[in-house]
Amino acid sequence: MIKIAVMGHGVVGSGTVEVFYKNRESISKKCGGDVDIKYILDLRDFPGLPYSDKFTKSFDDIINDGEVKVVVEVMGGLNPAYDYVKRCLSSGRSVVTSNKELVAAHGAELLRIARDNNVNFLFEASVGGGIPIIRPLSQCLAANSIDEICGILNGTTNFILNKMINDGMSFDDALSLAQQLGYAERNPSADVDGFDTCRKICILASLAFGYHVYPDGIYTEGITNIKLEDVVYAKKLGYAVKLIGYAKRISNDKIFCATYPALIPFSNSLSTVDDVFNAIMVKGDATGDVMFYGKGAGKFPTASAVVADIIDACMHINRRKSIFWEDAKKDYVIPCEEHETAFYVRAKCDLGEASRLFGGVKTSPAENGDVLFITPVMKEKDINAALDASGIEIKAKLRVMEQAV
């Protein structure tokens, strides 16, 4: 019998326990032997549940019980999750987590501790909720050199942008609706300021390219400054505005990685990802483009990924899985200024003045005497220098993913 502990009984934690008990028989079969939850750690009381007897308020019960071989961390946040997870791994337990903040901030260290203690640290649920992406990247696509990843990784912002694109809602109205429907948190900053997407693309880039990419080391821009008129103009020009996490191999020891809203051409499948869905495009040198699509959040989709990792951890007691990345390398992520992209620009100037920019760009007139144009693909610093030198008044500027996977 393998005994496990679940730390946290919030949305994902309770979903995990429910899915586990619903399918315990088949889960045990897949693990090759009986598996049960011995402890559920939470400071709150949950009377009346069929498994109420398993609750404890003390982490010591778990760490001091030699029978517990796998610990599931679904508390979220860094404290006390980071300390608890380190102690579980150091004491020879495998850990499964859905905590993207923890993996993005401390993944390299926790993977090293797991390796040193011959246990596993698994985090399929940390990116894309129920969408399989961590295991495909580390196993199914392992033969490839990954060149590029571009993902819609946050359901809340995708919902908001879709309401702006399809229903002409303002950002504020779409955010209120997302809150009413329970998608966005009351404090929606992690979603709308891009931090959630940033953490997820950092995890994917670390896994794909082999070195830890820290969230505070990449450019992160959210969607709070997006104007409805630019979403509408982008649509007329053939693009959908999406918040993306983007990572690209530049050379063997340099990558680009960032989070920002971007114009995605309607010819690219990412432009069609609606509602709260997530999608991740991965370009491998052998596979070409591969797309992963599904529900990126929610109690049961996320619990599905957590329970899959529990099964994997139970199947690999005393055996290591190959998920690993090294600690960060200095100057590994190139700055935005060195990154090559095109920009959509809305400027206050006359059409002739705009069309002479960049050796001639196609322009479109917009309301209030504004002009729209899309720059050639150039280093961001060169585009910015040219726009500064022109002296025209820039009213909006968004990257265009002409080249992305």
Write each residue from 181 to 220 as x if it is in contact with ligand HSE (CB under 6 A), else as -, in one continuous string.
----------x----x------------------------
| 152-160, 240-248, 324-332, 384-392 -> range binding ligand HSE (CB under 6 A) | 152-160
Where does this chain touch ligand HSE (CB under 6 A) — which range of 59-67, 101-109, 115-123, 149-157? 149-157
Please identify, using beta-carbon distances, which residue of 156 and 259 lies nearer to ligand HSE: 156
Instruction: Please say which residue, 138 or 154, places its beta carbon nearer to ligand HSE.
Output: 154
Q: Counting contacts by CB under 6 A, is residue 124 touching ligand HSE? A: no
Backbone φ, ψ for residue 148 (5° rounding): -160, 145
Residue range at the interface with ligand HSE (CB under 6 A); choices 43-51, 154-162, 353-361, 381-389: 154-162
Q: Quick one: how many helices (H) and strands (E) in the chain?
A: 14, 17
Q: Is there a catalytic annotation at residue 200?
A: yes
Is 73 a binding residue for ligand HSE by CB under 6 A? The answer is no
Provide, rounded to whole angstroms, the least separation between the CB of residue 383 and ligand HSE: 31
Token couple for 26: 């088949």
Q: Which of 348, 310, 321 is nearest to 26 (CA)?
A: 310
Read off the tokens for 104.
């993005």
Tell which positions 248-307 bind ligand HSE, by CB under 6 A: 296-297
Rg (C-alpha) for the chain, rounded Å, is: 23
Instruction: Find the largest Cα–Cα distance for the chain.
Output: 76
Matching residue, tokens 């040198």: 285
Which residues sit opposite 364 in a β-bridge? Answer: 372
C-alpha to C-alpha distance for 13 and 16, rounded to whole angstroms: 5
* Contact of 352 with 168, CB cutoff 8 Å: no
Q: How far is the CB of 278 from ligand HSE (least distance, A)?
A: 7
Cis link prior to 80 (omega < 30° from 0)? yes
Amino acid identity of 134? I
Identify which of residues 178 and 313 has a Cβ nearer to ligand HSE in the complex. Answer: 178
**Token pair belonging to 258:** 């960032």
Exactly one of 38, 100, 200, 248 is catalytic; which is it? 200
CB 29 within 8 A of CB 58: no
The window from 85-93, 151-159, 164-172, 201-209 that contacts ligand HSE (CB under 6 A) reads 151-159
Q: Which is nearer to ligand HSE, 107 or 155 (CB)?
A: 155
- Find the shortest distance in angstroms from Cβ 58 to ligand HSE: 28
The answer to whether 130 contacts ligand HSE (rule: CB under 6 A) is: no
Instruction: For residues 213 and 325, give the distance between their C-alpha atoms in angstroms, rounded to a whole number.
Output: 10
- Which residue, 30, 22, 26, 54, is CA-closest to 40? 54
Nearer to ligand HSE, 192 or 218 (CB): 192
Size of the site for ligand HSE (CB under 6 A): 8
Tell me how far, at minimum, the Cβ of 200 lies from ligand HSE, in Å: 7
| Comparison of 15 and 296: residue with beta carbon closer to ligand HSE | 296
Pairing of strands 68-73, 94-97: parallel
154 binds ligand HSE (CB under 6 A): yes
Cα–Cα distance list, 363 to 228, 236, 360, 399 (Å):
20, 13, 9, 16
In the complex with ligand HSE, the residue whose CB is nearer, 196 or 230, is 196
Binding site for ligand HSE (CB under 6 A): 129, 154-156, 191, 196, 296-297
What are the catalytic residues? 200
